Structure 1
Amino acid sequence: MNGPYVTLADSVDDVDATAWERVAADAGAPVHYSPAYLRAYETSPLSPYVSVHYLSAVDAGRTVGLLPCYLQKQGDPYGFLRAVGVPDTDGPALLGHNWYCYDTRIPVRASSPERRDRILDTVLDALVDLAASAGAPVAGLVSVAEGDPVLAVARRKGWRVAPIVTRFQLPLRNLAQHDPYDMYDAYLATLGARTRRTIRQYTRRAAEAGVTTAVEAPHPRFLRTVCELTRRTAAKHGSADMYPESAFIDFVMALGERARVVRVDQEDRTLAAAVVLLDEERLHMWVGGTSHATVDSFSPNYLLWAAEIRHAIDAGKLWVEGGRANQPMKSRHGMTPLPLYACIAPPSS
């Protein structure tokens, strides 16, 4: 068969895991494309799906591109697609990646931009064909970063490409020039004077109140606490149901070394906790929450952020991924905005 073509698997156990890891690594893809993450989500989905499919682009006998996608009963739980005029968003949708991934891409290994675009074109066609065979009226990609080559390919194919939300990143590359013991202070020096003063003040007050922070491997019992705090925070935005406790615990435990728990405690009381995800280059501030906005004149949330960012620095990560929304807090902590786009195939496809 000439040129790239796509093979389909309906379980992560049926893909060539070594090939997927190689393509994902070469493309700098995030943790969401690792077999560990895909297997965890397949077996313990946080949001139920009808079916999962793994598209592998093959050329000259080698895997050169990949895309996980999910057929969902409700394709637009946040209303992002409806807001940009996509019809049928309340019905089934075949989407890549999933809504818990804020960095959708089609990782590709290609020797030239022309070859890359040909692979991307082939994968997009395969996604449309798969949606048609599944009877899904909506097919596409969500949370694609501004500047990703797939956006230009989708536009040329007549897909609807529209910004839906903003993601936030904190670059840590420039801290490498500092002594490891000074890197967190070097990070603080990049922030505004008011934020820097607030973080140091809260840190001091928390220490005086006997507060401790820790980063540890996840355990089922404490994950219940993390889930409770996460749901409490998500409820403010109407999305608490995105984190069902049983699936949440099973999913995080299945991630193994890819997940860590960050916690802020005062004696036997947990004030804040989060799950962070790890890949080779990044620490992902995935989910978390706090029990109170303020305790003893400090914010547990600020301490949680400080512990997460410090861990990323100590682990030698190049980026902290802050996820979507909550711009004021993320901007104060030095994060830069990155618009995310949805790419939706035309209804007639």
Structure 2
Amino acid sequence: MSTRHITVTDSIDDVDTVQWAQVAAADTAPVHYTPAYLRAYQTSPLSPFLAARYVTVAEAGRTLAVLPCYLQQQGDPYGFLRGVGIEEADGPALLGHNWYCYDTRVPVRATVPARRDRIIGAVLDALREQAAADGARTAGLVSVPEADPVLDVARDKGWRVAPIVTRFQLPLHSAAGDVFDSYDAYLATLGARTRRTIRQYLRRAADAGVTTAVEAPRPDFLGTVGDLTRRTAAKYDSAGMYPEHAFTDFVMALGDNARVVRVDRGGQTLAAAIVLLDDERLHMWAGGTSHATVDGFSPNYLLWATEIRTAIEGRKRWVEGGRSNQPMKTRHGMKPLRLYACVTPSGA
């Protein structure tokens, strides 16, 4: 039997990124697990952290599992953990992934459930041991989707597991698994009132001379996107998630994993967003609008229409809508998915 090796490094450049990417792809992990995303977050963090920790499990030189995590002075900046009685994460905490990822998992290159669970268990043990070495009050994973095997492994180890928030996903495929071949096919899945409103807004926007575009990020325009994003995020008390300079540097470092979606009229940008891309998904990552309505239509609805159309044209299976703003997301056909935190027990 091969000896299992567990390694913890503090830079993505010190891991075998080729094998890391292979593990993430084998587990269909989202863009947040790609070396490009991790390098961008390491060099241009949107939220400060004390140290990055990259956990890898390997046997016979072959990487089997990976996990990025971050030592944070304040592990619960948005109060999700305090809300379910996990107070110790307020102090220094070693948590994976980060709060900008709403799909935390332990990517594993193993299909047999028993072997997969043993490998996940080894990762959790390494996370706990590293947290102790770092002087953290707790270790854990946040934003783990319900039914993920990580949760059962954590429970078996006596970790505290609790639901914290809901994320939203839009399936772009039929029950038979066929992806939608047109935006109209997607619209047909919505309620009649929502479908009528979207089509009406699209007509009014066209009559008003509004244009839409999807383009590669440019530093000069990212200032506009960031400003619109912060103005919209302020409604949810989260404008601080997108600091000006780090926002631009982070997005530019993502390369082909990021696109800008924009809605313009004349020389004015009415709405803009950053979307992230991976093989299966388009992520509605960050964006905002300047006006709730213009000339009888909503720029935000037009922005969403362009993002969803882009996902369909790119043959994606899902649009990831992130957290919050449930009314808008369910109106557009998104489905709720409960997210959990699992952390080491008090005193562990």
- Scaled to the shorter chain, the TM-score interval is over 0.9
Q: Is the 1:4–1:57 contact (alpha carbons within 8 Å) kept by the matching residues of 2? A: yes
Change (3 A) 1:156 1:178: closer
Structure-2 separation of matches of 1:304 and 1:274: 8
The alpha carbon displacement at 1:202 in A equals 0.4
Aligned: 1:135 with 2:150:
no
Structure-2 separation of matches of 1:115 and 1:102: 26
For 1:193, the equivalent position in structure 2 comes to 192
Q: For structure 1, list consecutive stretches of 5 or more residues without a partner in the other structure.
A: none
For 1:341, the equivalent position in structure 2 comes to 340
For 2:215, the equivalent position in structure 1 comes to 216
Match of 1:251, as an amino acid?
F
TM-score scaled to structure 2, two decimals?
0.97
The alpha carbon displacement at 1:347 in A equals 2.1
Structure-1 separation of matches of 2:158 and 2:272: 44
Structure-2 separation of matches of 1:153 and 1:2: 23
Aligned: 1:281 with 2:267:
no
Q: Is the 1:4–1:122 contact (alpha carbons within 8 Å) kept by the matching residues of 2? A: no
Match of 2:158, as an amino acid?
G
Q: Deviations over 1:71-101 (max 9, x none)?
A: 0111111100000101233321110000000
Q: Is the 2:180–2:312 contact (alpha carbons within 8 Å) kept by the matching residues of 1? A: no
CA RMSD, aligned part only? 1.4
Change (3 A) 1:77 1:178: closer
Match of 1:154, as an amino acid?
A
The alpha carbon displacement at 1:210 in A equals 0.6
User: Matched residues, percent identical?
Assistant: 71
Match of 1:103, as an amino acid?
D
Within 5 Å, which residues of 2 pair with 1:233-272? 233-272=232-271
Q: Is the 1:5–1:122 contact (alpha carbons within 8 Å) kept by the matching residues of 2? A: no
Match of 2:214, as an amino acid?
V
Q: Is the 2:75–2:92 contact (alpha carbons within 8 Å) kept by the matching residues of 1? A: yes
For 1:166, the equivalent position in structure 2 comes to 166
SS in 1 for 2:220: helix
Aligned residues: 347
The alpha carbon displacement at 1:3 in A equals 4.9
The alpha carbon displacement at 1:177 in A equals 5.4
Q: Deviations over 1:150-202 (max 9, x none)?
A: 0000011111111111111111122985884xx11010010000000000000
Structure-1 separation of matches of 2:5 and 2:326: 41
Q: Is the 1:263–1:274 contact (alpha carbons within 8 Å) kept by the matching residues of 2? A: yes
The alpha carbon displacement at 1:256 in A equals 0.3
Aligned: 1:229 with 2:224:
no
TM-score scaled to structure 1, two decimals?
0.97
Q: Is the 1:50–1:71 contact (alpha carbons within 8 Å) kept by the matching residues of 2? A: yes
Q: Is the 1:178–1:186 contact (alpha carbons within 8 Å) kept by the matching residues of 2? A: no
The alpha carbon displacement at 1:8 in A equals 1.1
Q: Is the 1:205–1:297 contact (alpha carbons within 8 Å) kept by the matching residues of 2? A: yes
The alpha carbon displacement at 1:325 in A equals 1.2
SS in 2 for 1:224: helix
